[in-house]
Chain A
């Protein structure tokens, strides 16, 4: 059971907009700690997609965006493409655990 809760799967057709959520609590996201998102393509290491809730590293397409409100955060992908098919993880810091926590991951399927 992960500290941050993500839906196990989402799907969308090419060109559609998809969103995925990350729900935490008052000891992590709700405590004001930033949320970061990672993309993990099959058989590869995770790659940071969004950091500090809304920022994209250079090289990440602007189709990817992040938001945060209260104890939750969301990742949105506009105009989803086949190459976006991957697992997505949210991450934050938990004050009660004194450590970093990840969501269980969401598998994106492009139909």
Chain B
């Protein structure tokens, strides 16, 4: 059974940093792209970042480019999101999700973590 377990969220002051983790099990983690998607309170879904199975080709939404870094440790079946220079508008539930599809441009996200809440406030 595929499972994704998000962790690392919490309350953080503006300008500070936080690292999220997503522990994966039940599939060959290194063979699949992974993404982070966030959802601000009462709002819709927003793709944040993605990385291929090899760790190659990280991509970022413009809203986080230069501040967030995605990485993965395939030996630990774990995905990370390092978030620096956090802003109030980064407040959201952050979900990791597994990418699925024949081509990157047609990926859908077939399994999701339960989400971890990040609150940026002084």
Contact = CB atoms under 8 A, between A and B. Distances in A.
Given A45-B95, A45-B115, A36 B45 contact: no
A19 to B, nearest CB: 19
A100 B107 contact: yes
Interface in A43-94: 45-48, 51-52, 57, 89, 91, 93
A24 interface: no
Contact of A102 (B46, B50, B113): B46
B47 A52 contact: no
Most buried by A among B37, B50, B106: B106
B44 interface: yes
Given A45-B95, A46-B95, A99-B59, A52 B108 contact: yes
A37 B108 CA distance: 9
B56 interface: no
A27 to B, nearest CB: 11
A103 B47 CA distance: 11
B47 A45 contact: no
| Chain B interface bracket (under 10, 10 to 19, 20 to 34, 35 or more) | 20 to 34
A34 B101 CA distance: 10
B2 interface: no
B35 interface: yes
A36 to B, nearest CB: 4
Contacts of B109: 36, 38, 46, 48, 91
Contacts of A36: 108-109
Contact of B106 (A89, A93, A102, A104): A93
A49 B106 CA distance: 15
Interface in B86-105: 95, 100-101, 104-105
B110 interface: yes
Nearest to A50: B108
Contact of A105 (B35, B44, B61, B113): B44
Contacts of A105: 44-45
A47 B112 contact: yes
Interface of A: 2, 33-34, 36, 38, 40, 45-48, 51-52, 57, 89, 91, 93, 95, 97-105
